[in-house]
Structure formats: C-alpha cells, structure tokens
A and B are shown apart, each in its own frame.
Chain A
C-alpha cells in the first residue's frame, strides 16, 4: 500500500512531441504528489507538484494530471526537447513528511 507504481520504464520521443509518464498509488493518505527530474550524477530536482484537491496543474511545458478516484497521476511534457532527456520520478508524500518514490522513467528525446 506504500508503493507508487510508475510506467513506462523508458520512453523515446521525437523532438517536439509529447512525453507522458504515469504513476499509480494505493494509499489514500498521500497528500502531495511531486515529480522530480534527475540528470546523471546529480540529485533529483523538483519539477512540478500537485495536491489531490486539484485535477490539473501546468507550469510552462510541464503539466500534471491528477485523477483522485482512480488514484493515478501523470506528467505530460509538451514540445519535448533534447535537454529534457533525463530520468523522471514521481513521488507521493504521507502525513509524516515521508516520501515514496516511483522507480523512474528514463526519457530520451531525439533531436
């Protein structure tokens, strides 16, 4: 019940295309859902985050869609660029500020 399941494991997208990464959770006590971007040799960096009382949040080319009833949320990267090539992690926070991370999606954007 503490898991966050993330898919796909890897994704290849053409430049200018839309990248979509999905996550699902079981624990309804989770109250905050961030997405992180990680480049090789670096720590994860917060990209965008959403609370469960909001169905969608957009920041620039990045959008989170949240479906509370289905317990699913997804990251959409519009107009994907080669510089977006990285590993993306979804996460969910429990009430004690403990974060559970997904297993990651390695995104490659072809020039």
Chain B
C-alpha cells in the first residue's frame, strides 16, 4: 500500500452515462497525476496538478474528460457520456515537490458496456 487511495476500484457503466472517480493522494504531496492504462500498454498521461492548479492536460484528452483538485487535496476525474473506448484502468499518482518519485494508487478499472 503506497498511501494513495482510489475509489471505486471497479466501475461498470453503460455507454452514455457519466462516471466520477476519486483519488486521495499522500497527504503532504502537492503534485497529483492522472493516467489511463489499457491492457498491454503503459500508463498514458492524462493530466497533472500542482496543488489545486491544473498545469497540464494531454491533448489526447477529449472534452468529455474533466479533472479537479479543490483545495489541493483529493482529486476527481469525471468522464461524461462514456464510450466503449473509455474502458481502461485509471491510475492516480502523487509526488512531493521536486522529489521525482511518483506513488501510484491501485487504480479504478472502468468497463463501459
């Protein structure tokens, strides 16, 4: 257990529905990352927060995806109007300042039917 928690661990939804995932980073970590991982692939960068500011967002991320980190603590990732291609593992990671080590959570596995 790295200290990064994600909820829920699994989510099954129907195409067109909205889903929201939560990530609780290690408490003192100011940097938070979201990644998407599909079967047989490495994690793919989605977005990055430093404290509450969203500093970078992947150009691959459609407008249906939005992430927030209010008060620089936990973060949420929302996917609107889900599509079957959104089925993947969504990983959250956090790190502290200039220390490079990213600690990953266990991920949320999403299945869109």
Residues of A within 8 A of B (CB): 4, 6, 32, 34, 36, 41-46, 49, 89, 91, 93, 96-104
Contact = CB atoms under 8 A, between A and B. Distances in A.
Interface string B93-113: 101000011111111000000
B93 A103 contact: no
Contact of A103 (B42, B56, B104): B42
B85 interface: no
B41 A43 contact: no
Interface of B: 2, 4, 31, 33, 35, 40-45, 48, 55-56, 91, 93, 95, 100-107
Nearest to B106: A43
A44 B56 contact: no
Contact of B101 (A42, A46, A100, A101): A46
A46 B102 contact: yes
Given A45-B2, A49-B100, A103 B106 contact: no
27 contacts: A4-B42, A42-B106, A43-B2, A43-B91, A43-B93, A43-B105, A44-B43, A44-B104, A45-B104, A46-B102, A46-B103, A49-B100, A49-B101, A89-B43, A91-B42, A96-B56, A97-B31, A97-B48, A97-B95, A98-B48, A99-B33, A100-B45, A101-B35, A101-B42, A101-B43, A101-B44, A102-B42
Given A32-B100, A43-B4, A93-B100, A103 B107 contact: no
B104 A43 contact: yes
B92 to A, nearest CB: 8
Contacts of B45: 98-100
Nearest to A42: B106
Contacts of A6: 42
A65 B103 CA distance: 23
A42 B5 CA distance: 11
